[in-house]
A and B are shown apart, each in its own frame.
Chain A
Amino acid sequence: MPDLKTEEMVVQMGPQHPATHGVLRLEITTDGEIVRKINPHIGYLHRCFEKHCEELNYHQIIPFVDRCDYLAAMNNEHGYVMAVEKLLDIEIPERVEYIRVIMSELNRIASHLVALGTYGLDIGAITPFLFTFRDREKILDLFEMTSGARLLYNYIWIGGVAFDLPNGFVEKCFEFIDYFLPKLKEYDDLLSYNKIFIKRTAEVAIIPPAVAIEWGITGPNLRASGVDWDLRRDEPYSIYDKFEWDVIVADGRVGVLGDSWSRYYVRVLEMEQSASIVKQALEGLPSDENVKSAVPKKVRPKEGSVFFRSENPRGELGYYIISDGSDIPYRLKMRSPAFCNLSAISDVGEGLLISDLVSLLGSIDIVLGEIDR
C-alpha cells in the first residue's frame, strides 16, 4: 500500500475563539485532530501596566492593580498593599487585617466560581455556568455594599481599607455562606461527577509535579499536581495563621494526579475552605477600630526593594517593587501567576486532541488581563 499523503495543518485558535477566554491566540499545528505543536501569542491586552506604575504614585496604582486580574481584584490589591506596607514597614490594625482576609477569601470564591462555570462552558455544559454566575452575583453584591463597586474595587488601601464594613454586612455574609455551601453539592451533581464530564477531563492533559514546578506553575494548578504548597499556610501573611483550614491537595480520586479534573476539583474544594475561613474571620472580627488609623498621609518608602508574594486564586502573585525614595515606584514588576501557568501550555499541550486542548486551557484558568498586564 502506498503511503498516504498527509500534511500538517496550521490553525489559528483565537484571538477570537470562545475557548481562549479573551484574546489569547494559539497557533496550533494539527495532524487531523491531534495537536502537534502549540505556539502561544499573547499581548493582545497589553496595557503597559508596568510603565504606568512608573508614572503614578503608590496609591494611584491600586486601581490599575485591580484591572490586571479583574476577576480577583481584592486579592491583587491585598498582595500589592502588603508589598508596599513591607516596604514602608508599618503596622496595621487587626480589624483591617480581618476585613482584608474576608474580602480576599470572598473574592477567591467569586473567582473560582467563574473558573468553574466557564470550564463547564468549555466542556459544553451551559447550565453550571449560569448557576455559578448566579451565586457570584451575591458576592458582588456584598462587595458593592462595602466598597461601592462590583468588579474593580479600589477598596484595600495602603495601611487600611477605604471604608469600614457597612451595617448588616456580617449578617448578610453569614447568610451567603449558609446559602452557598449546599450549592456546592449541586455543582457536584450537575457537573463534577457527571460521567461525560469525567470522561472529558480525567486523565487528560496531565501535568506531573516535576513539570509543574519546572514551569513555575503555582496555586490550585500546582496543588492539583499533588504538591502540598500554599503560601497562606506555609508562609503565612496577613492573619492566615489564626484560622483553621486545610490546604486542598488533589488526591486523584477520579483519574490521576495532575489531570484536568483534579485542577477543576481542587477549586471546588478550595471554595469550601475559603467559606470556612470567611466564617471564622467573621466570628473573630474585632470590633470598633478605626480602619484608617494607619493609612499614611504620604506614601514615601525609603530606598530599597521588596519582593512579596501572596496567594491569588490563580497562583502566587508576586510584586517586585524598587523604591528610590520618592512617592513613585522606580520599578514595579508583577509576577502574574497566570502568565507562568500559561507558559507551560506549549509543553503540556502537545499530542492532545483539539477538544482536550480546550479542556486544558479551561482548567488552568487563565485571565488574559493578568497575562498581558
Chain B
Amino acid sequence: MDYFIQIVTDLLPGLNGLPQWLVIPSIMFLFGALIFTGIAIYSLIILWFERKIAAHMQDRLGPMEVGGWHGWLQTVADAVKLLLKEDIIPAVADRKLFKLAPYIVFLAAFAVFAALPFSDKIIGSELNIGIFYILSVSSVGVVGILMAGWGSNNKWALFGSMRSVAQFVSYEIPIGLSILVVVMSVGSLSMRDIVMAQDGGIFNWMIWQNAPFNFIAFLILFIAGTAETNRVPFDIPEAESELVAGFHVEYSGMRFSIFFLAEYANMLAVGIIASTLFLGGWQGITGASSAPGIGLIWMLLKGFLIVLVMIWFRWTLPRLRVDQLMYVCWKVLVPISFFNMVGAGIWIGLSS
C-alpha cells in the first residue's frame, strides 16, 4: 500500500493539497476500484476462455460472431445484456435478504484480494497475518449464500444453500491444514515472507520442498479450493440437473451477474493463493525480476494456469453426490492433510 500511495501521490501531486485524513481513504478507494475493474475485466476474459476451451473440448467452436475474431466480445455483450435485464424479485421473497445476498458473496470474494500480493510492490495491505486474514474473510461468503437461499423462499434454493454451507464448513479444514504445512516451513503468516522464502528459481518453490509433503499439501489445497468455489466436480450447491440452479435459482439480471463475478473472483483468488503459497508467487522461473510489471505478469500467469485447470476439470468430470462430497472431505482430504501436516512437521524438525 505504501508503494501504491507513493505512486499515486507522485502521479497526482494535487492530492498533497488535500487534508491528510482524506488522502489515505481516497487512495484506498482508488485501489479498491482498480481491483474491482481488474476482477471484472479478468472475469470477462476468463469467461471467454472457458467458453472457447469448453467448446473445443467438445468439438464445437463456441462463440464466433460478436466482435470478429473468435467472438472475443461475446462475454462483454453478455455482461451488458445481464446488466440491462429486468431484475425480478419473487413476490414471496424476503426482499432485504434477497437484495443483500449477492453483495455479501461478492464482498467476501473481493475482500480476499486486499491481502493478495500481486507483486513485490503491489499489495493491498501487507498484513503480517495475511494468510490467516484470507482464510477468515473468505468464509464470510457462505453467509451470503445462505441468505440467498433462504431469502429466495424457494425450496430448491434452500436445498442449495444448505448443501453449500455444509460444503464450505467442511472444506475449510483441509485448506487450513495444508496451508499450515507452508506456514510451518516458512515460519510466518505474512504472504510476502512466504513468497520471499521461495526465492531463487523454480527449484526453490514451496511445492518441491519437504519431499512429498508440500506437493500433497498443494494438491489438497487445489482440490479443496475447487470445492470452495463451487466448481465441478464439487458444484453440488448449484447442481443444475438436481437443484435447477441451487441457491441462485431465483436471481436474474445484475444480481445474478454479481454471483457470477464472485465465483470467478473466487477462482482467481484460489489460483493466486495457491501460486503464492506453492508456486513462488510473483517470482519467475529463474527468480524474481526487479521490474514491478514482470512480477504482476508472473503472478497473473500462474493464477490463470490454475484457473484453466479448474476449467478443464469442469468440462471433464461428473458431479459428486452430497454425501460423497462429505466423504471426500472428512474421510479422504482431512486425514491425509492431517497426516501430511504431522509428517511435514517431523521432516522440518529433523532437517533443521
Within 8 A of A (CB), among B129-163: 155-156, 159
B158 smallest CB distance to A (angstroms): 9
**Known contacts being A18-B240, A123-B241, A127-B58, is A190 close to B155, with CB within 8 Å?**
no
Is the Cβ of A124 less than 8 Å from the Cβ of B155?
Answer: no
Is the Cβ of B159 less than 8 Å from the Cβ of A33?
Answer: yes
Partner of B321, one of A17, A191, A355: A355
Is the Cβ of A18 less than 8 Å from the Cβ of B241?
Answer: yes
Partner of A124, one of B156, B244, B318: B318
Q: Indicate with 1 or 0, residue by residue over A182-221, a CB within 8 angstroms of chain B CB atoms.
A: 0000000011001011011000000000000000000000
**Known contacts being A19-B241, A355-B239, is A125 close to B318, with CB within 8 Å?**
yes
Is the Cβ of A122 less than 8 Å from the Cβ of B241?
Answer: yes
Q: In the docked arrangement, what's the CA distance between A199 and B317, Å?
A: 12
Interface size class for chain A?
A: 20 to 34
Is the Cβ of B322 less than 8 Å from the Cβ of A353?
Answer: yes
**Residue picked from B54, B60, B316, most chain A C-beta under 10 Å:** B316
Is the Cβ of A130 less than 8 Å from the Cβ of B233?
Answer: no
User: Which residues in A have their C-beta under 8 angstroms from that of B236?
Assistant: 355
User: Which residues in A have their C-beta under 8 angstroms from that of B239?
Assistant: 124, 355
Partner of B233, one of A18, A121, A124, A355: A124
Interface size class for chain B?
A: 20 to 34
* Interface flag for A45 (CB, 8 Å): no
Partner of B242, one of A126, A196, A354: A354
Dominant secondary structure at the A interface: helix
Is the Cβ of A17 less than 8 Å from the Cβ of B244?
Answer: yes
Q: In the docked arrangement, what's the CA distance between A307 and B317, Å?
A: 45
**Known contacts being A353-B322, A358-B241, is A190 close to B233, with CB within 8 Å?**
no
A73 smallest CB distance to B (angstroms): 26
User: Which residues in B have their C-beta under 8 angstroms from that of A354?
Assistant: 159, 242-243
Is the Cβ of B316 less than 8 Å from the Cβ of A356?
Answer: no
B314 smallest CB distance to A (angstroms): 8
Q: In the docked arrangement, what's the CA distance between A122 and B241, Å?
A: 5
Partner of B322, one of A33, A131, A134: A33
User: Which residues in A have their C-beta under 8 angstroms from that of B242?
Assistant: 19, 354-355, 358
Within 8 A of A (CB), among B224-257: 232-233, 235-236, 239-244
Q: In the docked arrangement, what's the CA distance between A19 and B156, Å?
A: 13
A-B contacts, 12 listed (Cβ < 8 Å): A124-B233, A124-B235, A124-B241, A125-B318, A125-B319, A126-B58, A134-B58, A196-B324, A200-B320, A200-B324, A353-B321, A354-B243
